[in-house]
Structure formats: structure tokens, C-alpha cells
């Protein structure tokens, strides 16, 4: 069948879209990729929270799906809210790449070795809060743009270090530039980090069936716990939080946190279990019991 993929135009987004395209081509489908510029791409000079949060990278692509202009959207799952527009659904997740955050320092020094007062670039509220909780002596400054832009600004001396996702660096062939991958239990990733998700219209059974061979069930279990945690806390909250599930015995271990933006009130939770959805809700309940509701209200 013929499948039209909608994607953002960044190098990383296109890598993901072309990876999905190539796998579908190998299954005998006709596939084309249509580039769609999103609000998040257009408004690079503003913080994400001011333009709709991570959902700003989805809005126009989902509108194209609903209008029948494309058949399939390829997303970084960490950008996808738990609540989707009526008529759309996530139909597959690909096998997860490295979920960790990457510390890249111009000096080659690790996170704990970098000198006090050093400038660290990140736009992520989650990364900012964890940095400030662990290293309150660092200066954390905004850094938006694609992977190339951020790495270039580091090399130009605008920052002493930056934080990026390991998965994106690996996919773009730039993992050798990483100074230190950060342990996912200590520096908790975003829910769904490292996962490519596929979205289509709920009534499009043909596209749903076409992408099923790409679906990875073990990844689905892990992200069900992470997104279950996110949903239990209110889904699209623009507050610093992270959640990461990994295999543990016959089940999963979920590590998570919620914080204020400055990392001064930093709440952690961790549990293991075999029911992914219940595990996510249980860790959310633990954090709510520690007072997370006040942080979520801002």
C-alpha cells in the first residue's frame, strides 16, 4: 500500500522518518515523507512552555493526519502528550535506543568535575532541575535549536557544557562527542526518551496493520509504565519531571522524580512490579504522597 509519512524537517526528525520509511519499503509498501513545519520549529526564540510545551512539535502534523494529508506521523515519544486529539492514536513504538541523557563538556570534564560557575546549556525544565539539584553552583542557561546548532554553540564557547539525548546523538553519528552518558536512575530521562512512536487515524486499519511488524512489545511495556506515571500526574504538566522504566527480574523497575524548577524541592520515587500501568500509577501516588501536587500546581 501507499503510505504518506508526516515529519518535522530537522535532521533528527528526518532520520527517524526515513528509518521508518526504509523499514516499510522493505515490507513492500510505497512510502513518501512529507515535511511539515510545526509551531515548535518556527518559534525557536521562545521557551517551549510559552508556545505549548513539547506538544508544539506535534500540532501541525496531527492536523495533517486528521485532514487526510498524511497517513502516518513519526514522533519522538518524549514529545507526545498522554492525551491525543480525538480520532488519532499511537499504533506502534520502535525498539528503544539509548534512553540516557548525554553530558558534553568542552573541557572533557564530567558533570561532577566541572568547575563552579561553569555555564551549562539546556532548554529542558527536567534537565535544568536535576542539574540544579545536583550542582547548584553551575550556571544553567537556555539553549534551543537542533543538535548541530547546540553542538556548534558549545564549540564556539557560548557554554562550558551542554546536555542532549544520547539517542539523537547515536542516530546522527555524533556519539563520539559525548563526555559522559548519565545514569538513568540518577539523572532520570523524560518519559519515552529514546523511543520512536507512530501515530495514525484510529479508523485507518490499513496503515495500522502495515506498521505492526515494526512494533516492539518490550519497549511498549516500559513506556506504558512511564506514560502511566505521567498520566497519573496530569499528563501535560509543564513542570520538571522524569520517569524511566527498565527490565528488573521478570518485571520492571520504574524510577521517577518531580521537582520545582530550581531543583530545591526534589521528590524521588522508585518501585518494581510486573503490571506496567499499575507500576506507573503507584510511583505517581508515592510522589503525590510526598507533596508533588503542590509542585504540579506551580
Query: What tens-digit pLDDT sequence spans the chain (298 residues)?
Result: 999 999 999 999 999 999 999 999 999 999 999 999 987 665 554 444 444 445 677 989 999 999 999 999 999 999 999 999 999 999 999 999 999 999 999 999 999 999 999 999 998 999 999 999 999 999 999 998 889 999 999 999 999 999 999 999 999 999 999 999 999 999 999 999 999 999 999 999 999 999 999 999 999 999 999 999 999 998 666 799 999 999 999 999 999 999 999 999 999 999 999 999 999 999 999 999 999 999 998 7
Q: Classify domain 226-296 by CATH architecture.
A: 2-Layer Sandwich (3.30)
- The CATH number that domain 2-94+195-215 falls under is 3.40.190.10
Sheet strand arrangement including 251-259: 241-248, 251-259, 266-273
Q: How far apart are CA 71 and CA 2, in angstroms?
A: 9
- Assess whether 160 carries a catalytic annotation: no
- Contact yes or no for 174/117 (Cβ under 8 A): no
- Contact yes or no for 290/236 (Cβ under 8 A): no
| Domain 101-182, CATH homologous superfamily name and number | Periplasmic binding protein-like II (3.40.190.10)
CATH 3.40.190.10-classified regions of the chain: 2-94+195-215, 101-182
| Three cell numbers, residue 22 | 526504509
> Beta strand pairing status for 2-7 and 72-76?
parallel
| Three cell numbers, residue 266 | 526534589
| Three cell numbers, residue 60 | 501541525
Sequence-ordered alpha helix ranges (H) in 75-216? 125-134, 147-155, 166-171, 205-211
**Which of the residues 71, 79, 98, 204 is marked catalytic?**
79
- Nearest to residue 122, comparing CAs of 163, 152, 178, 155? 163
Give whole-number Cα distances, 59 to 13, 33, 39, 188, 226, in Å.
Answer: 15, 17, 7, 26, 22
Amino acid at each position: 500500500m501507499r503510505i504518506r509519512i508526516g515529519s518535522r524537517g530537522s535532521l533528527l526528525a528526518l532520520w527517524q522518518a526515513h528509518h521508518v520509511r526504509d523499514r516499510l519499503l522493505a515490507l513492500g509498501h510505497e512510502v513518501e515523507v512529507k515535511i511539515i513545519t510545526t509551531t515548535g520549529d518556527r518559534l525557536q526564540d521562545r521557551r517551549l512552555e510559552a508556545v505549548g510545551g513539547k506538544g508544539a512539535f506535534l500540532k501541525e502534523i496531527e492536523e495533517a493526519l486528521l485532514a487526510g494529508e498524511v497517513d502516518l506521523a513519526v514522533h519522538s515519544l518524549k514529545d507526545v502528550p498522554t492525551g491525543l486529539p480525538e480520532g488519532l492514536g499511537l499504533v506502534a513504538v520502535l525498539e528503544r535506543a539509548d534512553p540516557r541523557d548525554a553530558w558534553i563538556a568542552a573541557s572533557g570534564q564530567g558533570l561532577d568535575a566541572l568547575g563552579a560557575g561553569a555555564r551549562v546549556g539546556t532548554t529542558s525544565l527536567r534537565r535544568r532541575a536535576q542539574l540544579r539539584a545536583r550542582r547548584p553552583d553551575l550556571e544553567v542557561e537556555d539553549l534551543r535549536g537542533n543538535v548541530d546548532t547546540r553542538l556548534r554553540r558549545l564549540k564556539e564557547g557560548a557554554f562550558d557544557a551542554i546536555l542532549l539525548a544520547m539517542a539523537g546523538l547515536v542516530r546522527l553519528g555524533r556519539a563520539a562527542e559525548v563526555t559522559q552518558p548519565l545514569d538513568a536512575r540518577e539523572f532520570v530521562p523524560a518519559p519515552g526518551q529514546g523511543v520512536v512512536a507512530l501515530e495514525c487515524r484510529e479508523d485507518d486499519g490499513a496503515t495500522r496493520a502495515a506498521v505492526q511488524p515494526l512494533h516492539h512489545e518490550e519497549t511498549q511495556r516500559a513506556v506504558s509504565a512511564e506514560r502511566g506515571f505521567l498520566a497519573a500526574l496530569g499528563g501535560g504538566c509543564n513542570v520538571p519531571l522524569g520517569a524511566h522504566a527498565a527490565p528488573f527480574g521478570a518485571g520492571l523497575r520504574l524510577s521517577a522524580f518531580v521537582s520545582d524548577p530550581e531543583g530545591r524541592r526534589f521528590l524521588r520515587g522508585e518501585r518494581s512490579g510486573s503490571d506496567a500501568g499499575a507500576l506507573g500509577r503507584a510511583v505517581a501516588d508515592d510522589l503525590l504522597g510526598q507533596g508533588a501536587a503542590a509542585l504540579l500546581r506551580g
